[in-house]
Amino acid sequence: MEKFAVIDIGSNTVRLVVYESMRRAPYVIFNEKILCGLGRGLSETGMMQNEAMDIVVENLKRFHLMLAKMDVKSYRVVATSAVREAKNGPEFAERIKNECQLDVSVISGEEEARLSGLGVLCALPRAKGIMGDLGGGSLELAQLSGEGSVARKVSFAIGPLKYLSLDGKTISSPKEDIDKALDLLDWKKEHKNENFYAVGGSWRALAKIHIVENGYALNNVHHYTIDRNEALALTERISKMHTVELKRYRVYISSRRLKVLSLSAYILNRMIKKLKSKRLVISGYGLREGLLYEGMTPEVRLKDPLIEACHDIAANNGRFSEHGQRLQKWIDPLFPDEDFEPYRLRLAASILSDVGWRGHPEYRAEKVLYEVLHGRLLGLAHRGAAFIGLTLYICYGGKTGEKDTAKVETLLKPSDVLYANQVGLALRLAQRISGGTEKGLKSASLEIKDERMLLNVRAKDEAVVNEVVTKRFSKLAKEFDLQEEVRII
């Protein structure tokens, strides 16, 4: 598998991300970020500061060395707002080439918007609404069609560093610039009452604050959603905070990020108001993942990122990685009227149903629950992750309402919890009967008929039904409120 890497030279940060492959849901094997502030003071002087450029060059030398050490031959180096707007941008790009042996592509604002939009689609293929990517010195917007494509896109010279002096003080308000920019968008009305997908470190920091302050069940900001009114209240409150007040967040937000947090909150507040967005959705994927997504073959891009990620996890951690879809088909008769999304989540849980076996028997349920909730499965809302995690917890012998699942269940509806119990218990029975083999599954089949759940067992395989199988089958039937019957055929 050929690795792929992206070096992203932004207005506030420089980051190197290395992906293990160009598969649909590749694993990140290296991720390093440096705060540099290239865009600081740019609006005052029109130039990037020497100190910031020196920091970037010093770290790019390290990044180039790391690429060689990791044997990464395929990579992209891109620079965004600060380098493309600064008078000394071309000179700086040439310096990077000479001193770091890296060819930099200084991308346009519209191209940045397009790539960031693709990054959101990499994780959420059916995303529909407006994507906004806030960097240190620019704001990119793009239409997400809901059908896996980026439509119109635009870039504005609006970013928190533009409104800060070199010593970090606010020198002006972005209100007029934001309003003027959005008044030019003749397509914004088309997305009224739709999602606003927020990309960028400062906006992710706002989500982190909301998660901590509300005691939310997960600490993963990717695909974290906040309703319009709550998002407006959060951003308005943070935008009015003085630097001293913001220090309370230093435990989980870097001090450099805190310097631009109030302005970033204000920009987001104006965006939600002017665009009349229904909901704020935080995306952990943006420009870098857009470059990765663009580099995939068309066939790979069409694959479901959730299902592909589950297959990869099963291949690396399961005993019988190919067995998941067989389990899915074996329990299909219990779910005849299933809609597409529940079917998809059930398939994901089936593929992952074997990955906990390598853990200690006493902690398998907890292990698989934790890994699903705190991993980075793509194409999945937090509710979906909670469902899959709870389903696998039950599959490994756990029960709903326990200490480990209390917070998880707050992300689910009562019908979701019932469904997780049904799927989890069905997979638990299937795993016991199959022994992880296709031949084992063929020993028996499930059927619902006349208010009864039937376990049809081939006569030659009658011995497969022991006390454990009987107990698991009985428990499953009760979860469906059906009478159970074992039939030898």
The total of structural domains in the chain comes to 3
Residues 166 and 210 in one domain: yes
Residue 298 lies in a domain: no
Q: Which of 289, 322, 351 is the last residue of a domain?
A: 289
Under the banding of pLDDT at 50, 70 and 90, the label for residue 318 is low
Instruction: Kindly report the CATH number assigned to the domain that includes residue 119.
Output: 3.30.420.150
Residue 294 lies in a domain: no
> pLDDT tens for residues 419-461?
999 999 999 999 999 887 778 889 999 999 999 999 999 999 9
Residues 220 and 238 in one domain: yes
352 neighbors 324 (Cβ within 8 angstroms): yes
- Which pLDDT does position 339 carry in this prediction? 94
Given the DSSP bridges, would you call strands 279-282 and 195-199 parallel, antiparallel or unpaired?
parallel
Residue 442 lies in a domain: yes
- Taking residues 341-349, report their average pLDDT: 96
Q: What is the distance of C-alpha 159 from the center of its chain?
A: 24
Instruction: Kindly report the CATH number assigned to the domain that includes residue 62.
Output: 3.30.420.40
pTM of the model: 0.91
- Which pLDDT does position 145 carry in this prediction? 87
> pLDDT tens for residues 56-90?
999 999 999 999 999 999 999 999 999 999 999 99
Residues 282 and 154 in one domain: yes
Q: Which of 82, 107, 132 is the last residue of a domain?
A: 107
Under the banding of pLDDT at 50, 70 and 90, the label for residue 368 is confident
Q: Tell me which residue range forms the domain holding 428.
A: 304-488
User: CB-based contacts of 425: which residues, under 8 Å, 6+ apart?
Assistant: 394, 395, 472, 475, 476, 479
Residues 273 and 153 in one domain: yes
| Mean pLDDT estimate for the chain | 92
Half-sphere exposure of 31 (CA within 13 A, CB side): 7
Q: Which of 107, 131, 165 is the last residue of a domain?
A: 107
Please give the residue that has the higher pLDDT: either 255 or 316: 255
Residues 283 and 323 in one domain: no
Under the banding of pLDDT at 50, 70 and 90, the label for residue 321 is low
Residue 472 lies in a domain: yes
> pLDDT tens for residues 23-38?
998 889 999 999 888 9
Residues 279 and 143 in one domain: yes
- Taking residues 119-133, report their average pLDDT: 95
Residues 25 and 56 in one domain: yes
Residues 75 and 119 in one domain: no
- Taking residues 183-188, report their average pLDDT: 85
Q: Above pLDDT 90, what percent of the chain?
A: 73
- Which pLDDT does position 477 carry in this prediction? 97
> pLDDT tens for residues 241-298?
988 899 999 998 988 889 899 999 999 999 999 999 999 999 999 999 999 999 999 9
Residues 352 and 463 in one domain: yes
Under the banding of pLDDT at 50, 70 and 90, the label for residue 187 is confident
Q: Where are the alpha helices (DSSP H) in 184-334?
A: 201-213, 228-239, 243-246, 255-259, 261-275, 287-295, 298-301, 305-317, 324-331
- Which pLDDT does position 191 carry in this prediction? 82
Residues 96 and 113 in one domain: no
Residues 275 and 225 in one domain: yes
Residues 263 and 317 in one domain: no
